[in-house]
Amino acid sequence: MAEVVIVGNAQAAGELVADAIAALITRKPDAVLGLATGSTPLPVYQALAQRAGGLELAGVSGFALDEYVGLAVSHPESYRSVITREVVEPIGLDPHRIHVPDGRSETIESAGSDYEKALVAAGGVDLQILGVGTDGHIGFNEPGSSFASLTRVKTLTEQTRRDNARFFDSPDQVPMHCITQGLGTILRARHLVLLAFGEGKADAIAASLEGPLAAMVPGSAIQLHPHATVVVDEAAASKLRLADYYRYTYANKPGWQGI
Ligand code: F6R
């Protein structure tokens, strides 16, 4: 079972996770971070940027979860652009150590296996930040994705395209396809940290944590992971049956343990 931490707000979640990442980098200066895009992880990146002055970051690498297919890399909403703007620049990571799946149509056939090779060559992800879609996706593994899946092209659901339309001028500009780490890829990371805020995520969080393991709920894959931490606000936690138990467990956790 994942450890569930219910926090007061997104900023508190950002501080908690940034502390864990800072501790990881201090312990392992060549740490490999798994980077999610979207709105959810922004407080983590902001809090990490505030801690960056005290960290040795030259050896840190990062791997994005996913990328749109067929969107120019230079487009401001390509995940390469987003990661550069929201993560690499504010924190001060070495851009040469930041990997994003290659969504260019010309090379898309081999892009998945190339990304898998790069992940293995880097020694695997130490800490993977995850958000969850309202339909339960993690990465862009939409409902029905295999728990054994590796990096590959997927078709975004209409729901995900609607959810992401806020980043584009109109909903039909949201690409139809993406390339995403698979659930099998994500499960190889040594520590998963899934964040979710707001009522709109409550169903996806409850189904992922307390529902049955099911390809229909890709987030439920985290139940298979030996070290998964879920950090949610009260609204995202509002449909968890064991919320009081999670609070009790966290409140009584030995201080040295971290997340
Ligand atoms: C992003 C990603 C997605 C998002 C999810 C939630 O790289 O892979 O799984 O984490 O769509 O998006 P937000 O955080 O914008 O609600």
Residue 1 has pLDDT above 80, yes or no: no
User: What pLDDT was estimated at residue 196?
Assistant: 98
> Which residue's entry shows tokens 């395209």?
161
Per-residue pLDDT band for 256 (boundaries 50, 70, 90) equals: confident
How many other β-carbons are positioned within 10 Å of the β-carbon of residue 129? Answer: 26
Ligand 1 atom 15: residue of nearest CA = 38
Give pTM, 2 decimals.
Answer: 0.97
> Which residue, judged by its Cα, is nearest atom 2 of ligand 1?
139
What domains appear along the chain, each with residue ranges and CATH number? 3-210 (3.40.50.1360)
Question: In the chain, what is the straight-line distance between the N-terminal and C-terminal CA atoms, in Å?
Answer: 13
List, for residues 140-154, the tens digit of each pLDDT value: 999 999 999 999 999
Mean of the per-residue pLDDT values of the chain: 97
CA–centroid distance, 255 to ligand 1, in Å, is 31
Sign of CA dihedral 139, 64, 76, 232: positive
Kindly give the distance from the C-alpha atom of residue 169 to the centroid of ligand 1, in angstroms, as a whole number. 19
Q: What is the pLDDT of residues 166-223, one digit of tens each?
A: 999 999 999 999 999 999 999 999 999 999 999 999 999 999 999 999 999 999 999 9
